[in-house]
């Protein structure tokens, strides 16, 4: 994983030379795992409240495709309750780390205060918790965001996202995050 991350960082560092406009951002926030109605009928877990100790940490790199759209590579970690299959039985854990890397297309709308956007994409997700075997599979994310410029180069970014992951129990997560972006 460390070699892959280093290779990704090196590849992303070369993109500004090819792009006329790109940005880097760091966001922090909270998350909530959603439980389906069929899970509740089987007596499997209950939905947890939205909490900031169920955290989300994300880094992204974005390249402008045209005036209104961008392509983002997003690395993130969602810390929230999780579920694993052990010997055919479901095991719920209070805290699991869901690491993800997503390729996202972000469509922006110009506003008087900055911009808002709609985004969607696919990615690779991995869930891991103490004393459990990690699971890796694909997932999808989508949501809305806003960019409030502080200057031409710096701005505040807020985002609400929905993550659907194809793990054995197909969890869904809602994340709310805010942070800073640097354009170059």
The helix or strand, by DSSP H or E, that contains position 162, with its residue range, turns out to be strand 154-165
The CATH number corresponding to 20-183 among 3.40.50.2000, 3.40.50.300, 2.130.10.10, 2.40.160.20 equals 2.40.160.20
Task: Compute the distance between CA of residue 60 and CA of residue 38 in angstroms, rounded to an integer.
Answer: 34
If you average pLDDT over every residue of the chain, what do you get? 85
Task: State the pTM of this model.
Answer: 0.82
Which of 20-24, 97-101, 156-160 has the weakest average pLDDT?
20-24
Q: Please tell me which residue, 149 or 53, carries the higher pLDDT value.
A: 149
Task: Compute the distance between CA of residue 52 and CA of residue 68 in angstroms, rounded to an integer.
Answer: 32
Query: CA-based Rg of the chain, rounded to a whole angstrom?
Result: 17
Task: Compute the distance between CA of residue 41 and CA of residue 31 in angstroms, rounded to an integer.
Answer: 24
Q: Which of 76, 83, 75, 74 is nearest to 33 (CA)?
A: 83
For the record, the structure tokens of 1 come out as 């994983």
What are the tens digits of pLDDT across the range 13-70? 655 555 568 999 999 999 998 876 555 544 444 455 656 678 999 999 999 999 999 9
Torsion of CA 153, 154, 160, 162, to 10 degrees: 50
pLDDT band at 6 (very low <50, low <70, confident <90, very high): low
Q: How many CB atoms lie within 10 A of CB 75?
A: 18
What are the tens digits of pLDDT across the range 64-95? 999 999 999 999 999 998 888 888 888 888 88
* Angle 27-29-33 from CA coordinates, rounded to 5°: 125
The domain segmentation of the chain, as residue ranges, is 20-183
């Amino acid at each position: 994983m460390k070699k892959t991350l280093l290779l990704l960082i090196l590849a992303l560092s070369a993109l500004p030379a090819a792009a006329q406009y790109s940005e880097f951002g760091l966001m922090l926030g909270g998350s909530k795992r959603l439980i389906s109605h069929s899970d509740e009928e089987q007596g499997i877990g209950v939905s947890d409240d939205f909490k900031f100790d169920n955290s989300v940490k994300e880094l992204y790199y974005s390249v402008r495709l045209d005036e209104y759209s961008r392509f983002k590579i997003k690395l993130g970690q969602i810390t929230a309750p999780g579920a694993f299959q052990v010997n055919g039985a479901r095991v719920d854990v209070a805290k699991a780390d869901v690491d993800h890397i997503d390729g996202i297309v972000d469509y922006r709308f110009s506003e008087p205060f900055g911009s808002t956007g709609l985004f969607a994409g696919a990615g690779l997700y991995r869930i891991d918790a103490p004393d459990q075997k990690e699971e890796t599979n694909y997932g999808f994310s989508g949501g809305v965001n806003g960019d409030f410029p502080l200057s031409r180069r710096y701005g505040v970014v807020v985002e609400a996202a929905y993550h659907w992951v194809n793990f054995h129990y197909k969890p869904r997560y809602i994340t709310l995050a805010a942070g800073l972006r640097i354009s170059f």
